[in-house]
């Protein structure tokens, strides 16, 4: 989708950007993974719009498409996908800079698309020392590196990618994300010791009871077990519903 310039949307992204750049324990966040529990929750939209917002705040930003099984970034930005992340990781001759495309002349937004190489096992490719080398190079070259990663459900790809970053943002879409799948994803964070920066609620502005139950007790430093999402464990098809906020004067 095109960049959403509505005031509330952009301001929410600005607040998120400033909070993340402040970092934890005085350590700034420079390389971030964005994922979701399931397809269609809006992770690619968030990655793209956050990148554009960061650029508007005078940041030099690199957007990387690591969703090798279902890439989106080259479609959204109308970019050539001939040389991208997959090619850089497989090739012995390509240099990191050769996969970078500048979005606008003299602009500060750059992208590395998923690439054209056929990859049967992305997690194995991401486990290679070259992935660490690539991200180390990009970390030094940009103010912010945003990685649009695959969804978490049933795949090891994102967990492997996140090892090289400063943390992961999980995107949850209200009225769509399956609550049991979300709970399973959060529980896996504990098992895999995933560094999680937080959750971004997509699709509705306001408090949501089901999402609150899913995350209120979850300590993302992994010192406590996650809180169950719902007492109704059998509602396997239940989604996170919309619920308006009651505002006091």
Q: Which of 56, 10, 63, 61 is nearest to 34 (CA)?
A: 63
Instruction: Say whether 130 sits in a helix, a strand or coil.
Output: helix
Which pLDDT belongs to residue 84? 95
Which pLDDT belongs to residue 203? 77
Q: Which of 51, 38, 79 is nearest to 142 (CA)?
A: 51
Strands 168-173 and 31-36 turn out to be parallel
Among 3-7, 30-34, 134-138, whose mean pLDDT is lowest? 3-7
Which pLDDT belongs to residue 204? 58
Which pLDDT belongs to residue 236? 41
Which pLDDT belongs to residue 244? 36
Q: Which of 15, 11, 43 is nearest to 203 (CA)?
A: 43
The tokens describing 96, both together, are 């990191």
**pLDDT at 218 exceeding the cut of 70:** no
Report the alpha-carbon distance of residue 20 to residue 41 in Å, rounded: 21
Q: Average pLDDT for residues 104-109, to the nearest whole number?
A: 86
Which pLDDT belongs to residue 232? 36
Interval 134-182: pLDDT, tens: 999 999 999 999 999 998 876 788 889 999 999 999 999 887 888 888 8
Backbone phi and psi for residue 94, each to the nearest 5 degrees, phi listed first: -65, 140
**pLDDT at 23 exceeding the cut of 90:** no
CB of 177 closer than 8 Å to CB of 213: no
Which pLDDT belongs to residue 25? 63
Which pLDDT belongs to residue 11? 85
pTM of the entire predicted model: 0.79
Which pLDDT belongs to residue 120? 86
pLDDT band at 235 (very low <50, low <70, confident <90, very high): very low
Q: What is the DSSP letter of 24?
A: B
Among 11-25, 39-53, 118-132, whose mean pLDDT is lowest? 11-25
Backbone phi and psi for residue 247, each to the nearest 5 degrees, phi listed first: -105, 135
**pLDDT at 217 exceeding the cut of 80:** no
**pLDDT at 214 exceeding the cut of 90:** no
Report the alpha-carbon distance of residue 29 to residue 18 in Å, rounded: 10
Interval 49-96: pLDDT, tens: 999 999 988 999 999 999 998 899 999 999 999 999 999 999 989 999
pLDDT band at 213 (very low <50, low <70, confident <90, very high): low
């Amino acid at each position: 989708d095109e960049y959403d310039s509505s005031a509330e949307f952009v301001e929410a992204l600005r607040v998120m950007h400033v909070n993340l750049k402040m970092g934890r324990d005085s350590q700034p966040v420079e390389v971030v993974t964005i994922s979701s529990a399931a397809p269609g929750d809006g992770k690619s939209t968030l990655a793209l719009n956050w990148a554009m917002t960061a650029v508007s705040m005078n940041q030099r930003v690199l957007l990387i498409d690591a969703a090798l099984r279902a890439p989106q970034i080259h479609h959204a930005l109308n970019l050539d996908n001939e040389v991208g992340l997959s090619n850089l990781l497989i090739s012995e001759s390509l240099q990191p800079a050769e996969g970078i495309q500048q979005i606008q002349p003299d602009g500060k937004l750059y992208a590395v698309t998923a690439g054209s190489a056929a990859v049967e096992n992305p997690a194995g490719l991401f486990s290679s020392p070259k992935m660490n080398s690539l991200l180390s190079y990009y970390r030094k070259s940009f103010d912010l590196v945003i990685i649009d990663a695959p969804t978490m459900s049933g795949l090891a790809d994102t967990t492997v990618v996140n090892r090289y970053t400063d943390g992961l943002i999980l995107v949850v879409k209200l009225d769509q994300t399956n609550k049991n799948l979300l709970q399973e994803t959060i529980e896996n964070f504990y098992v895999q010791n995933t560094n999680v920066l937080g959750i971004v609620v997509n699709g509705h502005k306001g408090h949501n009871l089901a999402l609150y139950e899913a995350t209120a007790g979850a300590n993302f430093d992994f010192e406590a077990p996650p809180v169950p999402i719902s007492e109704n464990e059998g509602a396997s098809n239940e989604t996170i519903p919309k619920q308006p906020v009651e505002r006091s004067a």
